[in-house]
């Protein structure tokens, strides 16, 4: 990246569009817009308006824009094949529409891949050659960066680490499978386990409020809450050991809102991995870019060599 290049990245898919302006790997400006819910044209307009506001704030127009989109994208990122939060986006050529509106190159990628790429290039993954990133939020997103390549599969698949099965007879998952890691190591999974165990302080709370309360309770010695955070750790350790067996990882990055609970998850993760392998679990480290990792990774997509060109 030359000094003149100003990359904009946008996290698309939550209730807010989160923009970041990145120059030489550093965030120099941020902007937030509500995510419109009315259709593709409104979304493209909100993205263009947000980029315009960010350009005014940093005093320069972007040389490229990257989009991290929640959903399944075509292998080249040109089309959004399926978006669970924004079904009206299905089959939309989002990057081409924004490129026309902004007259700059636009590239799109799955949002979890952007989080992993941002952490790999400018966050907790710096210096690691082979890493997996697990983004624990509402669901469990995953990304693999191997020898400098952001790994992508064909048919809009690839690096769906949250849908690796950790319990064959486990709870049903939205992907159609059963016992996926996402059913445990996510806000949704923790809320389900809290309901199943009858954890009383969680009654009536949605997952976003329940999870911080449960992490606090586990730290205060609440046995049921600690049992749930142990279970999350076991799932992370199981996933980590299996991914390490496949790829020989240098580092396992835990991102997303739940990375605040890594101190609670790490002991049982280490124990679970030790039961599966004589080799130690790769270092578990918390993401270092916080809420910036998605937009930063999106901004840096133009520097991403990716697998799966077709």
Phi, psi of 12 (to 5 degrees): -115, 120
- Contacts with Zn ion in 52-111 (CB under 5 A)? none
Q: How far apart are CA 244 and CA 198, in angstroms?
A: 35
- Kindly state the smallest distance separating residue 175's Cβ from Zn ion, in Å: 3
Pairing outcome for strands 7-12 and 16-23: antiparallel
Question: Would you call 149 helix, strand, or coil by DSSP?
Answer: strand
Nearer to Zn ion, 107 or 163 (CB): 163
35: left (phi over 0), alpha (psi -120 to 50) or beta: beta
* Residue among 173, 225, 170 at smallest CA distance from 198: 225
* Residue among 235, 159, 165, 223 at smallest CA distance from 197: 223
- Contacts with Zn ion in 280-299 (CB under 5 A)? none
Nearer to Zn ion, 36 or 177 (CB): 177
- Kindly state the smallest distance separating residue 162's Cβ from Zn ion, in Å: 7
Nearer to Zn ion, 92 or 258 (CB): 258
Q: How far apart are CA 22 and CA 8, in angstroms?
A: 6
Task: Give the binding-site size for Zn ion (rule: CB under 5 A).
Answer: 5
Are the beta carbons of 33 and 19 closer than 8 angstroms? yes
- Kindly state the smallest distance separating residue 83's Cβ from Zn ion, in Å: 17
- Contacts with Zn ion in 167-196 (CB under 5 A)? 173, 175, 177, 180
- Kindly state the smallest distance separating residue 180's Cβ from Zn ion, in Å: 3
Contact call for residue 163 and Zn ion (CB under 5 A): yes
Nearer to Zn ion, 184 or 199 (CB): 184
Q: How far apart are CA 55 and CA 140, in angstroms?
A: 32
- Kindly state the smallest distance separating residue 231's Cβ from Zn ion, in Å: 17
- Kindly state the smallest distance separating residue 177's Cβ from Zn ion, in Å: 4
Nearer to Zn ion, 94 or 164 (CB): 164
User: Which segment (45-53, 161-169, 207-215, 251-259) binds Zn ion by CB under 5 A?
Assistant: 161-169
Are the beta carbons of 54 and 48 closer than 8 angstroms? no
Where on the chain is the footprint of Zn ion (CB under 5 A)?
Answer: 163, 173, 175, 177, 180
């Amino acid at each position: 990246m030359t000094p003149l290049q100003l990359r904009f990245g946008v996290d698309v898919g939550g209730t807010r569009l989160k923009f970041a302006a990145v120059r030489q790997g550093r965030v120099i400006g941020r902007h937030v817009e509500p995510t419109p819910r009315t259709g593709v044209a409104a979304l493209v307009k909100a993205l263009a308006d947000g980029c315009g506001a960010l350009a005014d704030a940093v005093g320069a127009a972007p040389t490229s824009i990257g989009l991290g989109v929640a959903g399944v994208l075509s292998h080249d990122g040109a089309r959004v094949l399926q978006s669970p939060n924004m079904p009206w986006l299905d089959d939309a050529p989002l990057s081409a529409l924004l490129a026309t509106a902004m007259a700059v190159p636009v590239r799109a990628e799955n949002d979890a891949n952007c989080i992993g790429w941002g952490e790999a290039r400018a966050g907790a993954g710096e210096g690691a050659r082979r890493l997996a990133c697990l983004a624990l939020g509402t669901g469990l997103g995953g990304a693999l960066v191997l020898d400098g390549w952001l790994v992508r599969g064909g048919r809009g698949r690839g690096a769906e680490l949250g849908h690796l099965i950790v319990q064959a007879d486990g709870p049903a998952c939205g992907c159609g499978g059963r016992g996926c890691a996402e059913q445990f190591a996510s806000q949704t999974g923790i809320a389900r386990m809290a309901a199943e165990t009858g954890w009383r302080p969680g009654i009536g709370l949605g997952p976003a409020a329940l999870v911080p309360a449960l992490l606090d309770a586990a730290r205060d010695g609440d046995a049921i809450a600690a049992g749930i955070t142990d279970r999350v750790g076991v799932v992370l350790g199981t996933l980590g050991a299996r991914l390490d067996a496949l790829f020989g990882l240098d580092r396992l990055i835990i991102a997303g809102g739940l990375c605040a609970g890594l101190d609670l998850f790490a002991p049982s993760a280490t124990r679970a991995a030790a039961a599966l392998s004589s080799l130690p679990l790769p270092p578990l480290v918390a993401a270092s870019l916080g809420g910036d990792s998605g937009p930063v990774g999106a901004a840096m997509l133009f520097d991403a060599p990716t697998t799966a060109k077709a």
